[in-house]
């Protein structure tokens, strides 16, 4: 029997049943969504399918004699099919298959997807042309109906929308009804939004809840032109944590009367009756414009637009209508300047509602050049007042920020990847002389001779004004050579593929493939509020392909759990776990290990006493290993910051086996991508 199923009938009283999960030997298998035609008179099986023969002992055939015909893969749940007449379809009808994808918690990334077919039995496709029954990652299949989002007037974001039904009122109007949560609560709220057909026969969803609005036959370009709060819904979604909620906030987008678009994106737009076409970001979005009641206490009536593109993304716009004074007040309230600085930073120059922001400084320790604050560190710390003037029309206000400029420090690059390192000739008005612990690698004039392989650790000594300072520098090779192992997780199209890459004894179902703006496919281990820590690992299978020196690189995003220690490690073939339990953490046999206590973003390497901060977000890790010396150079960085560089002692033999993570009980997140071994 299906673990999830529902009955549905269409024209001519044809009755279908749809299954999306099944139980076998007390194990739940989700093979996909299957359609079985029933006898409308008896409600029993109507016709059997001949077995297509492509099933296994764990998976159903595409055509299964018992379950019927597969019309979609196992990405989604709660299937619902809506039939709407449309001239674009060769049958005169489109059948829209709605599902919900992700995890139901308010931080779980739950979201609605829709695909369509010209017949109830399929095939179903999304706006990109992907067939729903094919193996594709959850973020890659289906038009995403709406993202986690927040307009300016909302105190919290609406998140985790799903479980929807789709209805019509018998008068040509169509709606979706769904539950949602807010970014600060796991409580459900229920919503009804009207949907409209665009020129290509795709349903687009109104931005605000239904409040009796109707759509006019046509609108004037002059009336539609203007500034909008713009929501650019993503196809990617993520299971996050309470402290790192994932949602998008509105931006300003301007539709000019001459047909151009400016603001957050540049492009063009045109209007045909109530049908709207916007071209931005090298994509064409087609939809409608109408008037709706804004979801505020005042319920003001505003122009809105909704559209979808062939990239499975939706866009929304809500016409801005604040007075100049209200716009200035809002934009000033959102303004912020950083507290402690030691390098240049960017200043906001435009507010969401069109306010222009100019800046002034009361001290040369910070000079303002356009939207850039140039920081000039001296021999003492300074408190500088930055004054922002926020203005729109005849309204303006000022806002002051105190910024601490840190004392200047003599620094050199801790990691060298080229043939020269800058060594300052003076500091604090004193000449600086340099010496090197290995002049053959780094000379006193900054000339660098890179090793052919491995790395070199060099100590540079600076002398000035009777003071000596030592700087540890890692010199990297010109290149790492040919990779013997590579994994970017682009092939992780289903749970079986994930299980072939990463395994967890007790929480295999908490290993996901996700996507974001910078990483197309990556593995995430997110266990939610499980009462104990859980382990997971991936094996390289290349221990016989590396020499005495080798390199491992990968991207990771780390958030420690709230109750127990979180660990992430490059493990060796001699790895041992505490109590022989992968959930308990590492005992020995690791090349390097990152660990963080509960509720902390301070991490230690190989249980060192000193810690360093890694903010939640993607970082790149490089490990250069020398088995003979028992040492490894570890570098953790992103495009703007170096969080750690140093030489650590290997715990064990140092022969690489794979990566290991220990999810630190509740609300921990660990993501991994682009793993390479050289």
CATH for 325-405? 2.60.40
CA distances to 253, 277, 635 from 476, in Å: 45, 51, 11
Backbone angles phi, psi at 89, to 5 degrees: -90, 140
The top-level CATH class assigned to 75-319 is mainly beta
Q: Categorize the per-residue pLDDT at 15 as very low, low, confident or very high, splitting at 50, 70 and 90.
A: low
Q: pLDDT at position 21, please?
A: 54
Segments making up each domain of the chain, as ranges: 75-319, 325-405, 415-475, 485-677
Contacts of 190 (CB under 8 A, 6+ apart): 177, 178, 179, 180
Instruction: Examine the pLDDT at 9 and tell me if it is beyond 90.
Output: no
Q: Print burial letters for 361-387: b (CB count within 10 Å at least 16), e (below 16).
A: beeebbeeeeeebebebeeeebebebe
Instruction: Examine the pLDDT at 3 and tell me if it is beyond 50.
Output: no
d(CA 190, CA 180): 6
Q: pLDDT at position 157, please?
A: 96
pLDDT digits (tens, 9 = 90+) for 646-659: 999 999 999 999 99
Q: pLDDT at position 46, please?
A: 77
Backbone angles phi, psi at 578, to 5 degrees: -60, 125
Average the pLDDT over each of 277-286, 436-445, 536-545, 659-668 and give the range with the smallest value: 659-668
For the segment(s) 415-475, the CATH number from 1.20.120, 3.90.70, 2.60.40, 2.40.50 is 2.60.40
Does residue 638 contact residue 511 with C-beta atoms inside 8 Å?
no
Instruction: Examine the pLDDT at 215 and tell me if it is beyond 50.
Output: yes
Q: What is the rounded average pLDDT of the residues 87-116?
A: 94
Q: How much of the chain, in percent, has pLDDT values that exceed 70?
A: 95
Place of tokens 């003076």: 426
CA distances to 217, 271, 292, 638, 671 from 305, in Å: 14, 11, 10, 38, 36
Name the CA dihedral angle for 361, 365, 366, 368, rounded to a multiple of 10 degrees.
80
d(CA 359, CA 381): 21
pLDDT digits (tens, 9 = 90+) for 317-345: 999 999 999 999 999 999 998 889 999 99
pTM listed for this prediction:
0.88
Q: Categorize the per-residue pLDDT at 11 as very low, low, confident or very high, splitting at 50, 70 and 90.
A: very low
Name the CA dihedral angle for 197, 202, 203, 204, rounded to a multiple of 10 degrees.
-90
Q: What is the rounded average pLDDT of the residues 591-600?
A: 94
pLDDT digits (tens, 9 = 90+) for 379-422: 899 999 999 999 999 999 999 999 999 999 999 999 999 999 99
3-state secondary structure 417-474: CCCECCCCCEECCEECEEEECCCCCECCCCEECCCCCCCEEEEEEEEECCEEEEEEEE
Residue 558 tokens, joined: 């780390």
Instruction: Examine the pLDDT at 130 and tell me if it is beyond 90.
Output: yes
Q: pLDDT at position 2, please?
A: 40
Q: pLDDT at position 495, please?
A: 82
Q: Categorize the per-residue pLDDT at 23 as very low, low, confident or very high, splitting at 50, 70 and 90.
A: very low
The top-level CATH class assigned to 485-677 is mainly beta
N-terminal to C-terminal alpha carbon distance within the chain: 49
Residue 484 tokens, joined: 């013997």
pLDDT digits (tens, 9 = 90+) for 607-626: 998 899 999 899 999 999 99
Same fold, 75-319 and 415-475: no
Instruction: Examine the pLDDT at 25 and tell me if it is beyond 50.
Output: no
């Amino acid at each position: 029997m299906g673990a999830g199923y529902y009955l549905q009938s269409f024209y001519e009283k044809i009755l279908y049943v749809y299954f999306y999960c099944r139980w076998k030997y007390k194990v739940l298998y989700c093979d996909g969504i299957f359609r079985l035609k029933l006898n409308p008179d008896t409600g029993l099986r109507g016709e059997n399918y001949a077995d297509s023969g492509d099933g296994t002992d764990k998976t159903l055939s595409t055509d299964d004699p018992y379950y019927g015909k597969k019309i979609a893969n196992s990405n989604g749940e709660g299937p619902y099919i809506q039939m709407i007449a449309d001239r674009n379809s060769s049958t005169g009808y489109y059948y829209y298959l709605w599902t919900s994808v992700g995890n139901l918690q308010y931080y779980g990334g739950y979201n609605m997807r829709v695909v369509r077919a010209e017949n109830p039995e399929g095939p179903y496709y999304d706006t990109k042309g992907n067939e729903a029954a094919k193996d594709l990652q959850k973020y890659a299949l289906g038009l995403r109906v709406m993202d986690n989002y927040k307009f300016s007037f909302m105190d919290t974001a609406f998140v985790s929308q799903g479980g929807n039904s789709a209805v019509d009122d018998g008068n040509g109007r169509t709606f979706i009804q769904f539950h949602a949560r807010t970014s600060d609560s796991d409580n459900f709220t229920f919503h009804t939004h009207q949907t409209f057909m665009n020129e290509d026969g795709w349903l687009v969803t109104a931005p605000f809840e239904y409040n009796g609005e109707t759509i006019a036959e046509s609108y004037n370009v002059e009336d539609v032109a203007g500034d909008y709060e713009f929501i650019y819904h993503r196809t990617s979604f993520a299971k996050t944590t309470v402290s790192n909620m994932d949602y998008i906030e509105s931006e300003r987008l301007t539709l000019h009367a001459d047909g151009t678009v400016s603001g957050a994106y540049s492009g063009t737009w045109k209007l045909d009756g109530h049908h709207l076409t916007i071209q931005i970001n090298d994509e064409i979005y087609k939809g409608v414009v109408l008037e709706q009641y804004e979801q505020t206490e005042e319920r003001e009536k505003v122009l809105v637009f909704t559209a979808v593109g062939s990239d499975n993304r939706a866009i929304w716009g809500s016409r801005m209508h604040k007075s100049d004074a209200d716009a200035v007040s809002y934009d000033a309230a959102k303004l912020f300047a950083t507290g402690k600085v030691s390098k240049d930073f960017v200043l906001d120059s435009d507010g969401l509602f069109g306010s222009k922001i100019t800046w002034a400084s009361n001290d040369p320790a910070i000079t303002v050049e356009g939207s850039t604050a140039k920081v000039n560190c001296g021999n003492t710390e300074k408190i500088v007042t930055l004054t922002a003037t926020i203005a729109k029309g005849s309204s303006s206000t000022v806002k002051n920020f105190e910024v601490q400029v840190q004392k200047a420090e003599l620094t050199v690059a801790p990691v060298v990847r080229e043939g020269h390192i800058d060594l300052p000739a003076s500091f604090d008005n004193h000449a600086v002389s340099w010496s090197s612990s290995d002049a053959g690698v780094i000379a006193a004039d900054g000339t660098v001779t890179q090793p052919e392989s491995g790395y070199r650790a060099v100590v540079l000594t600076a002398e000035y004004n009777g003071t000596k300072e030592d700087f540890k520098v890692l010199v990297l090779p010109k290149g790492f050579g040919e990779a013997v192992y590579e994994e970017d997780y682009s092939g992780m199209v289903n749970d079986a593929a994930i299980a072939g890459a990463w395994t967890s004894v007790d929480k295999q179902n908490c290993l996901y493939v996700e996507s974001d703006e910078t990483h197309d496919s990556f593995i995430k281990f997110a266990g939610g509020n499980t009462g104990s820590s859980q382990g997971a690992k991936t094996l390289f299978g290349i221990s016989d392909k590396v020499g005495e020196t080798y390199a491992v690189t990968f991207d990771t995003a780390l958030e420690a759990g709230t109750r127990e220690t979180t660990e992430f490690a490059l493990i060796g073939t001699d790895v041992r776990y505490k109590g022989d339990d992968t959930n308990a953490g590492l005992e020995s046999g690791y090349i390097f290990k990152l660990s963080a206590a509960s509720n902390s973003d301070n991490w230690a390497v190989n249980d060192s006493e000193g810690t360093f901060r890694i903010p939640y977000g993607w970082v790149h890790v490089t490990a250069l290993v020398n088995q003979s010396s028992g040492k490894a150079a570890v570098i953790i960085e992103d495009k703007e910051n170096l969080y750690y560089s140093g030489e650590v002692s290997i715990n064990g033999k140092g022969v690489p086996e794979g990566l290991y993570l220990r999810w630190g009980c509740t609300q921990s997140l660990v993501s991994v991508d682009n793993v390479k071994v050289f």
